[in-house]
Amino acid sequence: MAQLLKALLSASEKSANIARLWRQEENLFQMLIEEKTGMDKNKKFVQDFKTLADVLIQEVIKHDVGQKFPELKSYIGGEESNKFENGLGETIIVEVCKTKQETAGLLYHILDHSEVAAQLLADIIHQDVVIEDAAAETVTVNIATEAMGIWIDPIDSTNQYIKGKTDVIPIDGIYPYGLKSALVLIGVYDRNTGDPVIGIINEPFYQQDCKTLQWRGHYYWGISYNGTNISSVPRPEPQSSISVVLSSSENENIKQSLSSLCGRKLYYACGAGYKFLCLLTGHVDTYVFSEDTTFKWDSCAPHAILKALGGGILDLAGSLKTKGKQHAELPELKYNKPIQDAMGANQWANQGGLIAFVYRSHAEVILNVLDQVSIN
C-alpha cells in the first residue's frame, strides 16, 4: 500500500513540475492552448479550454502509475482526451513514449516544430521524482489494487491556470480566483463499491518566492479503506458559526438562503478542487454546489481525504429527497458507474450536485436550510 501511495505522490509531483514549467515559460505556454468542443466541453463555461499541460499530465500519470501497477492501467480515467491539435492544424495522439528521445520527437510535432521546447518537456516527463514522506512510508493498509480504479483531473481550474493571476488578495485565507486555484487531483476508488479510497491533491502554486518569482508546491493525501482512516491533513477544528464556499454561478435562491445563515462567512471561489481544499485546510465548513457540472475526477480525490477526516461528500439532490425518511441513509457520491443514456463527459457528472463537509452536523444544518429553497 505504501508503494501505491508513493507512486501516486510521485506522479502528482511530476505533474506539478510540468504545470509550473509551462506557466514560467510564457512563449511556450501560448502554444499549448486549445478550446474544447462537443462532448468534451463543460456546459458551465462559454469557453472551456484544455492545454497540452492537462493532456500530457494525464498521460504522464497513466504511464508512471501503469508501469508500476499494470493491473490498474486499464482503469485510469480522466477529464481529457489524449488528442491535441497543434498550430499547424495537425491532430496528434499525445502519449509518453518508451524513451526520452521518442517523446521529444512526438512533442516536436505538437509544439509547431520547436525542438528546444520539446526537449525541455521530455526531460521533465522522463525524470524520476522521488518523494520523501515519512508518514506515507509507514502506511500498512492492504488494498486490492486489482479491484481499484483511478480518476485524474490533471489541472483542475484550467481557466484560472490559463489566466495565471498571481496578485489576488485572499479573503479570510480564501483566494476567490487566480493561479492558486489550479490543482492536480488523483483519486483511487473501489470499482466494486464505488467508494473513494485514496486521494491526493497537489497544489503546484502553493507559495511564490518574492525574489526569484519561482513557485513551490504542496500536497495533501488521505486514505479511507475498510475502517482505516489516515491523512496527511489534521482534522480542522469546528468553528462557532458555520461557513460555506460556493461558485459565483450558484443558484440565486441558494445564495440568498445561505447568506442569511452564514452572513459574512459565505465565500466564493473558482475551481471545484480548490473549494474542496478550503474545507480540508479549515477555511470553511462546507462546500455546496447544486449544478451538474462537477465530475468524478473533480471529487474523487478530495472525497477520499474528507472520508479519512470523518467527513464526506453527499449527493445534494438525493439527500434532500431522502432527508426526513425514517432509517434512510443520506447518499454519498459513488465513482464506479456512468449515468445511463448520458454521453461523453456528462456520463460521469455528479448529476445531483453535492454538499461536502468535515463534520456531518454542518451538512445537516445546510440541508435543513436548503430543504425550504427552490433549487431548479
Which residues form the catalytic set? 54, 79, 153, 155-156, 158, 298
Q: Report d(CA 196, CA 306) in Å as an integer.
A: 10
Could you give the 3-state DSSP secondary structure of residue 55?
A: helix
Q: What is the grid cell recorded at 65?
A: 502509475
Q: Report d(CA 298, CA 58) in Å as an integer.
A: 13
206 CB-side CA count, 13 A: 15
The owner of cell 515559460 is: 25
Q: What's the Rg (C-alpha) of the chain?
A: 20
Angle between helices 115-125 and 100-110 (to 10 degrees): 140
Residues β-bridged to residue 201: 185, 220
Cα–Cα distance list, 130 to 2, 78, 81, 296 (Å): 14, 24, 28, 28
Q: Which of 118, 113, 82, 83 is nearest to 101 (CA)?
A: 118
Question: Residue 219 in contact with residue 204, Cβ under 8 Å?
Answer: no
Q: Report d(CA 325, CA 353) in Å as an integer.
A: 20
The owner of cell 471529487 is: 299
Q: Report d(CA 36, CA 50) in Å as an integer.
A: 6
Cβ neighbours, 10 Å, residue 102 = 14
Q: Report d(CA 338, CA 343) in Å as an integer.
A: 9
Q: Which of 226, 220, 217 is nearest to 193 (CA)?
A: 226
